[in-house]
């Protein structure tokens, strides 16, 4: 098919892009093709169209200027990991933790669903940059989609439009991203990644994590693959700068599973008891890290916005996020109040007596159903965040002094511990686990192993991924220190022991002290925990026995954990699993037995 008339692009002359768009249009047969330029006028026009079609709804234009509300289909509210595939020629290259489909079979299967699926619809062509324009870290993608919601979200989450066409020029080096809503049925929903072709096809969903293809699909699944090939790392990590009382900023990258508080931690406001500290946000979800000329690891946030979990976001948990979302934000699956404001469980303010819930139905505060979906989201520009780091768009990134791994463990893991060295740190990351949250389908609360919080996002065999971490460690002359945190330890009654939120600064303080060669620690079989008195607990009403319980390492519990770890690692081909991981397992067993 050759594009003609209004379907012809005015924004690019890139032959490879045009030929590919023609090819996809032949398959999906849209009524028209719209080439995005990223302008404000385009945003206004598309928003007006989306309002007219009901795809988004208006909110109070004075209190929430530039904001709209969207509801997904009821069967389409989270990432569908069971329908997400890595399509490499060899099955073993996807590994035992990914779903795999042969590339030919995947193109055929999804091709049949895409066929004619855009008839009566517009296909939007969205060029986007993951990374900062002009940075050597950049990757460029072009997403074709039949969803205006996707276009409006991609405007916030990426640098898109003319800036991306300019950056791409005539190059054929871009990720080919195809998304179609098709009929949104679960049995015709697939999210397929083709690392060997730099291609992503996603069909049958309208949920952000499945359809904003720059985010999880490109910036993690494909990028992790690219990073391995090109010698860098794509990680599911927030990036923050912690400024101390002397004005020194230490940059930290931290991996937590989805919906475990990355956005809250990266926007943390220290309590009044900890004056002089300040947290600067660089990113809340993804870090691309390379070795700099100084031998340190430098990290860039490739995104331009936050796609954060709304429920639980409150003045207490994250006042900076609430300030960020006051304008130019897309709210998905939250409650709409009669005043055209938004509300969600855990907002702890302005609770409406009634409203329209995430399903679009009348809802009252006495309802036994939540008004907002537990995985309701806000999509908001990072530039609006009050604590955005002045370095967040630095094309070189920021130097990382510490890496934190964390999970939601009611019992096992102490509040914080430090690995013995980089290799042991890789093992700590590889053995991460967390209780399941609402960001993915499945049973809530169940413990699942989630190495480096990358289980759903690693685009290749995780055994090779562990090896890549170890190889990178061998090349970084000034490696970051590696820590593990657990804000979620509970007592016998299931009550959280640690106050969390802003008080987490106390743990970050100890971590930065360790990075500066200070901060006292005590050696345990699993790593270094803060020595008595090393964690600043002043002004915190925490009984001594609770403080001790938070840092306790129970060898019996860890021996049970060890058995589960062995089971998890047994999933991998023994020849592929790095010897260093096996050595660390043995070493942990020995230390525990002693
Ligand atoms: C996210 C996720 O949306 O991890 O960031 O699910
Ligand atoms: Mn995430």
- Indicate if ligand 1 lies below 6 Å from the C-beta of 456: no
Instruction: Please check whether residue 400 is in contact with residue 298, taking contact to mean a CB–CB distance below 8 angstroms.
Output: yes
Q: Can you list the positions of beta strands (E) in 28-116?
A: 32-35, 57-58, 68-70, 84-86, 99-100
Write out the chain's pLDDT in tens, 594 residues. Answer: 888 888 999 899 999 999 999 999 999 999 999 999 999 999 999 999 999 999 999 999 999 999 999 999 999 998 999 999 999 999 999 999 999 999 999 999 999 999 999 999 999 999 999 999 999 889 999 999 999 999 999 999 999 999 999 999 999 999 999 999 999 999 999 999 999 999 999 999 999 999 999 999 999 999 999 999 999 999 999 999 999 999 999 999 999 988 888 999 999 999 999 999 999 999 999 999 999 999 999 999 999 999 999 999 999 999 999 999 999 999 999 999 999 999 999 998 889 999 999 999 999 999 999 999 999 999 999 999 999 999 999 999 999 999 999 998 988 999 999 999 999 999 999 999 987 655 555 555 578 899 999 999 999 999 999 999 999 999 999 999 999 999 999 988 888 999 999 999 999 999 999 999 999 999 999 999 999 999 999 999 999 999 999 999 999 999 999 999 999 999 999 999 999 999 999 999 999 998
Beta-carbon contacts of 414 under 8 Å, excluding residues fewer than 6 positions away, are: 486, 489, 526, 529, 550, 551, 552, 553
Instruction: State the distance between the two ends of the chain, measured CA to CA, in whole angstroms.
Output: 71
Short-list 83, 496, 428, CA closest to 254: 428
Protein residue whose Cα sits closest to atom 4 of ligand 1: 258
CB 194 within 8 A of CB 103: yes
Structure tokens given for 107:
């193109």
Pocket probe for ligand 1: among 77, 79, 303, 450, the residue whose CB has the most ligand atoms within 8 Å is: 79
Q: Which of 260, 385, 458, 515 is catalytic?
A: 260
Look up residue 577 and give its two tokens.
Answer: 């699993």
Largest CA distance in the chain: 77
Residue 327, judged by CB atoms within 10 A of its CB (0-12, 13-18, 19+), counts as middle
State both tokens at 560.
């049970």
Q: According to the model, what pLDDT value does residue 442 have?
A: 55
Other CB atoms within 10 Å distance of the CB of residue 41:
8
Q: Whose CA is nearest to atom 3 of ligand 1?
A: 209
d(Cα 158, Cα 132) in Å, to the nearest integer? 9
149 lines ligand 1 (CB under 6 A): no
Spell out the domain ranges in the chain: 5-35+80-230, 235-301+392-593, 306-383
- The finding on whether 79 has its CB within 6 A of some atom of ligand 1 is yes
State both tokens at 450. Answer: 């989630």
Distance of CA 129 to the CA centre of its chain: 17
In this prediction, what percent of the chain has a pLDDT beyond 70?
Answer: 98
Q: Give one DSSP letter per residue of 489-540, joined into a string.
A: -B-TTS-BSS--GGGGHHHHHHHHHHHTT-S-EEEETTEEEEPTTTS--TT-
Residue having the nearest C-alpha atom to atom 1 of ligand 1: 258
Ordered DSSP codes for 144-186:
EES-HHHHHHHHHHSEESHHHHHHHTT---SEEEEEE-TT--G
Per DSSP, what are the bridge partners of residue 100? 86
CB 556 within 8 A of CB 563: no
Contacts of 379 (CB under 8 A, 6+ apart): 153, 156, 157, 208, 305, 306, 307, 329, 330, 332
Residue pair 424/405 in contact by the 8 Å Cβ criterion: no
Q: Which CATH number fits domain 235-301+392-593: 3.90.228.20, 3.20.10.10, 3.30.470.20, 2.40.30.10?
A: 3.90.228.20
Residue 549 phi/psi, 5° resolution? -60, -35
Q: H-helix or E-strand containing 447?
A: strand 447-449
Q: Which CATH superfamily is domain 5-35+80-230 in?
A: Phosphoenolpyruvate Carboxykinase, domain 1 (3.40.449.10)
Q: Measured from the CB, is residue 215 less than 6 Å from ligand 1?
A: no
Collect all residues with Cβ–Cβ distance below 8 Å to 582 and sequence separation of at least 6: 569
pLDDT in tens, 53-62: 999 999 999 9
Rounded CA gap, 590 and 516, in Å? 30
DSSP, collapsed to helix, strand or coil, labels residue 38 as coil
CB of 43 closer than 6 angstroms to any ligand 1 atom = no
Among the bound ligands, name the one nearest to the CA of residue 78. 1
What is the reported pLDDT for 494? 83
d(Cα 20, Cα 504) in Å, to the nearest integer?
A: 49
From 287, 307, 377, mutation site for ligand 1 pocket: most ligand atoms within 8 A of C-beta: 307
Is there an atom of ligand 1 within 6 Å of 258 CB?
yes
Kindly report the three-state secondary structure assignment for every residue of 531-580. Answer: CCCCCCCCCCCCCHHHHHHHHCCCHHHHHHHHHHHHHHHCCCCCCCCCHH
For residues 8, 14, 19, 25, the Cα torsion angle rounded to the nearest 10 degrees is -50
Q: Return the number of other C-beta atoms located less than 10 Å from residue 294's C-beta.
A: 9
Q: Report how far residue 148's alpha carbon sits from residue 55's, in angstroms, rounded to the nearest whole number.
A: 8
For this structure, is 260 an active site residue? yes
What stretch of H or E contains 54? Answer: none
Which residue out of 81, 212, 216 has the highest number of ligand 1 atoms within 8 Å of its CB and is therefore the one to mutate?
Answer: 216
Beta carbon of 438 within 6 Å of any ligand 1 atom? no
Closest CA to 25 of 124, 168, 136, 156: 124
pLDDT of residue 440: 54
- Overall CATH class of domain 306-383: mainly beta
Tokens of 365: 């505060």
Return d(Cα 47, Cα 352) in angstroms, integer.
27
Looking at residue 492, its pLDDT comes to 84
User: Which ligand sits nearest to residue 286's alpha carbon?
Assistant: 2
Given a contact cutoff of 8 angstroms between Cβ atoms, the answer to whether 341 and 64 are in contact is yes
C-alpha 593 to ligand 1 mean position (Å): 38
Nearest to 148 by CA among 187, 170, 171, 122: 122
Token pair for residue 221? 């699944």
* Nearest atom (ligand 1) to Cα of 309: 3
Q: Which residues are registered as beta bridge partners of 57?
A: 69
- Cβ distance 89 to 196 under 8 Å? yes
Q: Which ligand is nearest to the CA of 208?
A: 1
What the block records as the tokens of 169 is 């020029």
And the tokens for 260?
């475990």
- State the DSSP code for 384: G
Is 167's C-beta closer than 6 angstroms to any atom of ligand 1? no
The number of the ligand nearest the C-alpha atom of 308 reads 1
Distance CA 254, CA 517 (A): 20
């Amino acid at each position: 098919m050759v594009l003609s008339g209004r379907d012809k692009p005015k924004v690019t002359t890139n032959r490879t892009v045009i030929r590919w768009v023609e090819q996809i249009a032949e398959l999906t047969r849209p009524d028209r093709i719209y080439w995005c330029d990223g302008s404000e006028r385009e945003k206004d026009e598309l928003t007006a169209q989306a309002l007219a079609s009901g795809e988004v709804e208006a909110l109070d234009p004075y209190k929430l200027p530039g904001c709209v509300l969207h509801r997904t289909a009821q069967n389409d509210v989270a990432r569908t990991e069971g329908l997400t595939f890595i399509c490499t020629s060899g099955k073993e290259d996807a590994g035992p933790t990914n779903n795999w489909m042969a590339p030919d079979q995947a193109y055929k299967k999804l091709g049949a669903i895409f066929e004619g699926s855009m008839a009566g619809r517009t296909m939007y062509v969205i060029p986007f940059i993951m990374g900062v324009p002009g940075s050597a870290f950049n990757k460029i993608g072009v997403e074709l989609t039949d969803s205006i919601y996707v276009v409006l979200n991609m405007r916030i989450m990426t640098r898109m439009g003319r800036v991306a066409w300019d950056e791409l020029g005539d190059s054929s080096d871009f990720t080919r991203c195809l998304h179609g809503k098709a009929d949104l049925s679960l049995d015709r929903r697939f999210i397929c990644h083709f690392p060997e072709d730099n291609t992503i096809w996603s069909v049958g969903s309208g949920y952000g994590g499945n359809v904003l293809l720059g985010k999880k699909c490109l910036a993690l699944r494909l990028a992790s693959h690219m990073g391995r090939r090109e010698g860098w790392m794509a990680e599911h990590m927030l990036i923050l700068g912690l400024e101390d009382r002397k004005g020194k900023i230490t940059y930290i990258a931290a991996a937590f599973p989805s919906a475990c508080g990355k956005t809250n931690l990266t926007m943390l406001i220290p309590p009044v008891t900890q004056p002089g500290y300040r947290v600067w946000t660089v990113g809340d979800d993804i870090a691309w890290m390379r070795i700099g000329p100084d031998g340190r690891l430098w990290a860039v946030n490739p995104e331009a916005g936050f796609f954060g979990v709304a429920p639980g976001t409150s003045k207490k948990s994250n006042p900076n996020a609430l300030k960020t979302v006051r304008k130019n934000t897309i709210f998905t699956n939250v409650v709409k109040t009669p005043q055209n404001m938004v509300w969600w469980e855990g907002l702890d303010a302005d609770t409406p007596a009634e409203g329209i819930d995430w399903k679009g139905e009348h809802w009252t505060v006495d309802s036994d159903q939540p008004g907002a979906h537990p995985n309701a989201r806000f999509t908001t520009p990072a530039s609006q965040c009050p604590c955005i780091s002045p370095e967040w768009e630095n094309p070189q990134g920021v130097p990382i002094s510490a890496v934190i791994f964390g999970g939601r463990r009611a019992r096992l893991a102490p509040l914080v511990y430090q690995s013995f060295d980089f290799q042991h740190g890789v093992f700590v990351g590889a053995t991460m686990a967390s209780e399941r949250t609402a960001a993915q389908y499945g049973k809530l609360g169940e413990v699942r192993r989630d190495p480096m919080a990358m289980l759903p996002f690693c685009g290749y065999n995780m055994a090779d991924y562990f090896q890549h971490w170890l190889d990178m460690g061998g090349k970084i002359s000034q490696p970051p220190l590696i820590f593990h945190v657990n804000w979620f330890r509970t007592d016998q009654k299931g009550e959280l022991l640690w106050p969390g939120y802003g008080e987490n600064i106390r743990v970050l303080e100890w971590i930065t002290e360790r990075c500066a060669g200070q901060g006292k620690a005590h050696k345990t079989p699993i790593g270094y925990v803060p020595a008595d008195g090393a964690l600043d607990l002043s002004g915190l009403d925490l009984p001594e026995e609770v403080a001790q319980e938070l840092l306790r390492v129970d060898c019996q519990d860890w021996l049970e954990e060890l058995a589960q770890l062995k089971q998890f690692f047994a999933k991998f081909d023994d020849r592929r699993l790095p010897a260093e991981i096996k050595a660390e397992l043995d070493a942990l067993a020995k230390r525990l037995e002693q």
